[in-house]
Amino acid sequence: MVLLSSLSSSSTILCLLLLVQFYVALSVILLRNHHNNNNNPNHRNPILQGNQTSCSLFKGSWVYDETYPFYQSASCPAVDSQFNCQLYGRPDTEYLKYRWKPANCELPRFNGLEFLLKMKGKTVMFVGDSLGRDQWESLICMISADVPKAQTQMSRLYPISTFKFLDYGVAISYYKAPYLVDIDTVQGKRVLKLDDIRGNANAWHGVDVLSFNTGHWWTHKGPLQGWDNVETGGTMYEDMDPLMAMEKGLRTWARWVDANIDRSRTRLFFQGISPTHYNPSEWNVGASTGSCYGETIPVTTTPMTSTYPGPDLDQSNVIQKVIREMDDPPFFLDITLLSTMRKDAHPSIYSGDLNSQQRINPNKPDCSHWCLPGLPDTWNQLFYTVLFY
């Protein structure tokens, strides 16, 4: 009996020791996996839903990330010379390495194959000004980098350009309509019709995902102004307050969307104002000269990180006011503040739209559009997050 009791006690102790060793080994494995996932950007835990209140997608900071960019401009079939900063001599590359980190969550890593599989047989259209074209080209590049052998087809026409991923039946288009409402030629003059959108809107019927933007063109003057007269309420005007005109045009767009877009079929987005960086006093207190030329890092700790500068605030307020009053408002992609922090991400003088003399003159920079790869990739990562998560 004593021998059996001793054997039983020994067996119990041995089992306990084996259990302890098992749990220790299991804990080590779990801790190692947790550490690896936290340090690998491809294994970040995504937020569960892009627009849930627990995640402030559009408030956060830019963090340096060696895994960026998503692609190289030389390998993308869609990048315009206007946005191809590396091709046109930009000497630095640090601006390519910044990732947007929301304040209280992580964004899922963009996956081009997942995008195509989830959008199989569907259409996406960006509608607006050249910032929409910037984003359209970015999305094509991001997807193409993940499916380099996919069969594709591209057409660039006016006002619509389309890139198709033929193997998946996915078409991604850009429709140029910088004011959203129509511009007609009347007696040789370009007339901005604030009450009419039917000409442009014919192309928007039946699209599965629509993303709109407008902003910069409403404030253009002189040779950059896109119209000669403005018409509203049956009256022709030679000029009009830009914000008033913008609100009238947006309300025409909003009425058309509420009356014509089937929201059970179409996902609808409106992109916030994309800021410019021509005024260095906005990020460098006391500065009186300069621009985005020579800027190589984002803004970190200035008033720009908490407020919108200058006219962007007024235009943003108009957009949000109109959207709030819609019957079924679109998701507002509020990219203004996070983009305002990226004074370093413009083409500056490194743009194919400039001639050789302009490219050696820092007084003529492009501080309005964005380099590709670059900031529009983040816009699309946010677009992707809201669309699928």
Q: Tokens at residue 265, please?
A: 């079929």
Beta bridge partners of 173: 125, 162
Is the distance from CB of 227 to CB of 183 less than 8 angstroms?
Answer: yes
In this prediction the pTM is: 0.85
What pLDDT is recorded for position 362?
A: 84
What pLDDT is recorded for position 301?
A: 60
What pLDDT is recorded for position 290?
A: 75
What pLDDT is recorded for position 3?
A: 38
Q: Counting Cβ atoms within 10 Å, is residue 317 exposed (0-12), middle (13-18) or buried (19+)?
A: middle
Q: What is the pLDDT of residues 49-106, one digit of tens each?
A: 334 457 899 999 999 999 999 999 999 989 999 999 999 999 999 999 999 999 989 9
Q: What is the pLDDT of residues 302-322, one digit of tens each?
A: 455 555 555 578 999 999 999
Catalytic residue among 130, 138, 144, 351: 130
Give the whole-angstrom CA distance, residue 64 versus residue 306: 20
What pLDDT is recorded for position 16?
A: 52
Element (H, E) at 123: strand 123-128
What pLDDT is recorded for position 311?
A: 54
Residue 130 is a catalytic residue: yes
Catalytic residue among 216, 277, 346, 369: 369
Is the distance from CB of 272 to CB of 335 less than 8 angstroms?
Answer: yes
Task: Please tell me whether residue 98 adopts helix, strand or coil conformation.
Answer: strand
Catalytic residue among 277, 366, 368, 377: 366
Q: Which regions of the chain are under pLDDT 50?
A: 1-8, 15, 20, 22-52, 302
What pLDDT is recorded for position 5?
A: 43
Side chain identity at 9, as an amino acid letter? S
Q: Tokens at residue 104, please?
A: 């209280």
Give the whole-angstrom CA distance, residue 175 versus residue 133: 8
Give the whole-angstrom CA distance, residue 303 versus residue 298: 13
What pLDDT is recorded for position 279?
A: 87
What pLDDT is recorded for position 352?
A: 92
Which residues are CB-contacts of 222 (< 8 A; sequence separation ≥ 6)?
A: none
Q: Which of 41, 70, 43, 69 is nearest to 145 (CA)?
A: 70
Give the whole-angstrom CA distance, residue 134 versus residue 372: 8
Give the whole-angstrom CA distance, residue 140 versus residue 285: 38
Q: Counting Cβ atoms within 10 Å, is residue 268 exposed (0-12), middle (13-18) or buried (19+)?
A: middle
Give the whole-angstrom CA distance, residue 211 versus residue 127: 6
What pLDDT is recorded for position 55?
A: 85
Residue 369 is a catalytic residue: yes
